[in-house]
Structure 1
């Protein structure tokens, strides 16, 4: 048993040192996610940067990535190292995170490196409202807990600089926005496990993943939406919350979220979407209803090259060695279609919300995955695409 500097703080939850978590499940993880974007509504070309860093205590691994979508460019940095004793070491190779002020300001840095020369940055995220704790996600398969995760999300602005192909771009809070989240718990990570009974066609034939995760920023409030369904439309997870920028104002439950999606012909990429929220009114009063139209502007294929499971030689939590740093770059137009279909797509999007007959616009994240069969949209198998 080894101590670390964090053990000097009164934050223990179990009778172990901090570096030991409360479960021996190999799939326990603790992760940061950030996105940073500009150019949605202006004359400039939109840019969409996504950054992640995760620790996997029971696998002894820490890894991180950054992926930039700019025009037809898909630029990836990724790195992995052995997880040491100090869980407060939020670095992996040239990527580093600093918590400047908890739940408010964080610095994210990617130093230039010979392995990934196309991308570097030095950015500070500053929240524009409180962090919102989302609905806990819990799921079993064949009696084993496969998901037991908790996450909070927060919106804000960015400042600093972003360097792409040697060009340094100033990042200023008047035009650069985004959201970040922290999640932890149990979810599939690391090397693929033997499937065992899960390989039975009776089980694999019905496997699907339908997911909508949207963070919509409208100035003085943000709408957070989470929807996970099975192929028949039964909900595993749902959340619909309005988070006010005024930290003294309580979050507002918006009711049940429902979705209407249209897809680009020949794909499963979302062409447009509408989210509806309905909260029952008090006796004698009408229901409260709210609708948001979602217009994807720039998709970022977050699963390509970053470790979300498409490439079997690089997955989050997979052991790569004491330290490995890599860079990848490809044209979005040349990414294989099956990769675009089998991972969530983080769409930078415009939103229009209509409430009580009044409309206003916003920007943010519209993350969608429709993998495997889903009855409502006519997909009967993993290879089906929109007509």
Structure 2
């Protein structure tokens, strides 16, 4: 296969060149995710770039929620053989300092959305438990991911509205994940139709929270009956405090859904801290990004991660998200930012990401169509 600049490195993991991955599974991906928001929650930005070597594509997006509108700029191109080229049209990522600082930029374009933003970790990047899920004979998820919380600096231009981003007021997270997860054009269900007809359900929450000198992160995925797929609950000290990672007790979740939907209205987490003492975290949302709308995280005929859009495509879409009714049709993957209060008195800010599809016994959902009363 063709050699590329990455083949000059002493980092090969297989006998193949770097344009090839170790599995022929069409669903192999490699993706950056970022978010940033002001503490007041008025502006929420989500960014991503992914490569899909076995589909031959790469794509990127920027999602900006501000003043009741969700703006999405998205771009796709053919991947080619140079995996080190992370440019996708106007989008690009530079690793400033590995595992500490990255720059995500989008150059000026006809859609009047551009930015130059640099993330700096305030604690270490933390590897999460590996996610492995098999449905019948097929491995549907086999992914690794690490996450880091920190602060942002730079400039964001949204259709002439220039927003200065500074480390004092803007926080967020970034993650890097890779492996196997459903991507690209939809496959025929085949025998898997039986699992969807037989009480299928998938529940996911991802909750990173930043406090003055430490961070908390809870990550849970469950099947329809509440049985566990993956679980993580950690406290991360800031770099200034040494950056230690503390394993906490088993987390329990209580999501209060808005009536008539599966969008979170408020949330609560309970677990034991590093000293074995009970800790309660209560969440009040300030703003919401509907990540399923326009970004590719949930498959639609118009845009799906890894789907072939031709040699090159750059476009923008916009959604009204200022009311519960407007967001109701843009689920099921909701990312809320807001305020977290600990039972010990500390107040922090961060994100409560929630996805619930199909059945989930704990919250009384018994079908794909079920919503909160």
Normalising by structure 1, what TM-score? 0.92
The alignment status of 1:2 with 2:32, answered yes or no, reads: no
Secondary structure of the corresponding residue to residue 15 of structure 1: coil
Secondary structure of the corresponding residue to residue 191 of structure 2: helix
8 Å contact kept, 1:222–1:244:
yes
Question: Where in structure 2 are there 5+ consecutive unaligned residues?
Answer: none
| C-alpha deviation, 1:346, in angstroms | 0.7
Distance across 2 between alignment mates of 1:230 and 1:321? 36
| C-alpha deviation, 1:335, in angstroms | 4.2
8 Å contact kept, 1:310–1:339:
no
Distance across 1 between alignment mates of 2:200 and 2:329? 17
Structure 1 window deviating more from structure 2 (29-38 vs 229-238): it is 229-238
8 Å contact kept, 2:155–2:163:
yes
Pick one of 347, 353, 364 that aligns with 2:350: 364
Secondary structure of the corresponding residue to residue 129 of structure 1: coil
CA offsets 1:107-160 (integer angstroms, 9 cap, x no match): 11111211x22x211111111111000010000011211100000000111111
Residue of structure 2 equivalent to 1:54: 50
Secondary structure of the corresponding residue to residue 345 of structure 2: strand
Distance across 1 between alignment mates of 2:207 and 2:326? 24
Secondary structure of the corresponding residue to residue 269 of structure 2: strand
Matches within 5 A, 1:146-185: 146-185=140-179
Distance across 1 between alignment mates of 2:117 and 2:224? 40
For this pair of structures, how many residues does the alignment match? 370
| C-alpha deviation, 1:249, in angstroms | 4.3
Residue of structure 1 equivalent to 2:214: 221
Secondary structure of the corresponding residue to residue 359 of structure 1: coil
Structure 1 window deviating more from structure 2 (261-270 vs 318-327): it is 261-270
The alignment status of 1:232 with 2:225, answered yes or no, reads: yes
Secondary structure of the corresponding residue to residue 199 of structure 2: coil
Secondary structure of the corresponding residue to residue 339 of structure 1: coil
CA offsets 1:9-56 (integer angstroms, 9 cap, x no match): 11111111112111111000000000010142xxxx610000000000
| C-alpha deviation, 1:353, in angstroms | 1.6
| C-alpha deviation, 1:168, in angstroms | 1.1
Pick one of 345, 352, 366 that aligns with 2:341: 352
Pairwise CA RMSD? 1.6
8 Å contact kept, 1:259–1:276:
yes
Question: Where in structure 1 are there 5+ consecutive unaligned residues?
Answer: 282-286
Normalising by structure 2, what TM-score? 0.95
| C-alpha deviation, 1:385, in angstroms | 1.6
Distance across 2 between alignment mates of 1:188 and 1:39? 33
Secondary structure of the corresponding residue to residue 48 of structure 1: strand
8 Å contact kept, 1:293–1:352:
yes
